[in-house]
Amino acid sequence: MLIFDAHLDLAWNAIDWNRDLRLPVAEIRRRERELGMPGKGRGENTVSFPELRRGGVGLFIATLLARQAQANVLAALQRYQHMEAAYAATQGQLVYYRLLEQQGALRWIKDAPSLDAHANAWNTNADAEPLGFILSMEGADPVLSPEQVEEWYRAGLRIIGPAHYGVSPYAHGTGTEGGLFEQGPSLLKEMERVGMILDVTHLSDQCFDEALEIYGGPVLASHHNCRALVPDQRQLTDEQIERLINRGAVIGTALDAWMMAPGWIRGKTRPEEAGVSLETMVDHLDRVCQLAGNHHHAAIGTDLDGGFGREQSPHDLDTIADLQRLPEMLKRRGYNDEAIAAILHGNWLRFFRKALPQ
């Protein structure tokens, strides 16, 4: 079954982590281990183009990610001392996606007709089709001013999440408290004007509230789990989920293990001892469905290889191809074929058919 994954940091992995995503996962792991590459997640990756294809992940949101250095942010993300450098870095990531599109490995989806054409082609003969992606920016640090949003839109960007971990120039993010900064409202208004989609993922609670009041366009949560199951500001409260449902949003459930089960200590806890499995993912999917009273708003946004690897992923997941085990798990929870197809790809397709240019 076709799977739509709403969050993969592909260019960041390829450029910052120096991974050739055209290789099999096993080969990437072997190279990183033989070279003794330091850092969390090295030799433990789960995503590559062959594994995406093997798992039927024929559609995904791919990101641009370049963070300006801020206090109290993960060191691996504190790379750029000024916004201009973050802008330049993401221009390089844009080139990466363009090259892969020229080589026929990827198909860049920028409007609703292209989305439908790709989904139909993939369902007809997946082996002959490129992998399809919609471009998002995680943390708006590379947007030099609100007036530059239109430039990014013309370049093919369709989604912006204003914040990431810590703070961005526009908003408070994960692990911080506070609202939008001075230019935050202008960013949101310009996004709405040009047709850029808002991703509320990583916004602080106050910024979440303020953003939904200011921004009137389409809203999604690309990779978020449920705070009722894992008490942490990184997750969505039931009230936030209900507000998103009322806005017609879709919520992608993430596979970063610390977001899946309570009490996780990053760098110490292992998935096996915390009992984090793909069934835990289904717990979060199911809660969104129960709050909505239907299956129309729950979906997938794995965030696999988002700065971590198998050491911080479900213990029964070796690569992203293991997502194909989800249909049977959902069926055991009482979901029928229509609901399963909606969660795996249909909900995102419906959302983007409406949110992308017609």
**Residues 9-22: tens digit of each pLDDT:** 999 999 999 999 99
Cα 256 off chain centre by = 11
Strand partners, 135: 62, 157
Which of 30-44, 232-246, 339-353 has the weakest average pLDDT?
A: 30-44
Neighbours of 38 (CB within 10 A): 7
Region 137-145 average pLDDT: 97
CA distance 21 to 198: 28
- Residue entry with tokens 């109290």: 72
CA distance 23 to 47: 10
Measure Cα distances from 85 to 62, 63, 78, 94, 250 in Å.
21, 17, 12, 14, 32
Question: Both tokens of residue 189?
Answer: 């208004």
Question: Both tokens of residue 179?
Answer: 């609202």
Region 66-90 average pLDDT: 78
CA distance 52 to 322: 10
pLDDT digits (tens, 9 = 90+) for 80-102: 888 999 999 999 999 999 999 99
Output the domain CATH number for residue 248: 3.20.20.140
**For residue 74, pLDDT beyond 80:** no
Radius of gyration of the chain measured on its C-alpha atoms = 19
Neighbouring residues of 60: CB distance < 8 A, sequence distance ≥ 6? 4, 5, 6, 7, 8, 52, 131, 132, 133, 134
Residues 301, 6 contacting (CB under 8 angstroms) = yes
Q: What angle do CA 10, 16, 18 make, to 5 degrees?
A: 80
Residues 302, 8 contacting (CB under 8 angstroms) = yes
Neighbouring residues of 258: CB distance < 8 A, sequence distance ≥ 6? 264, 266, 269, 312
Give the residue numbers spanning the domain of 35: 4-355
Query: Structurally, how many domains does the chain consist of?
Result: 1
Strand partners, 165: 174
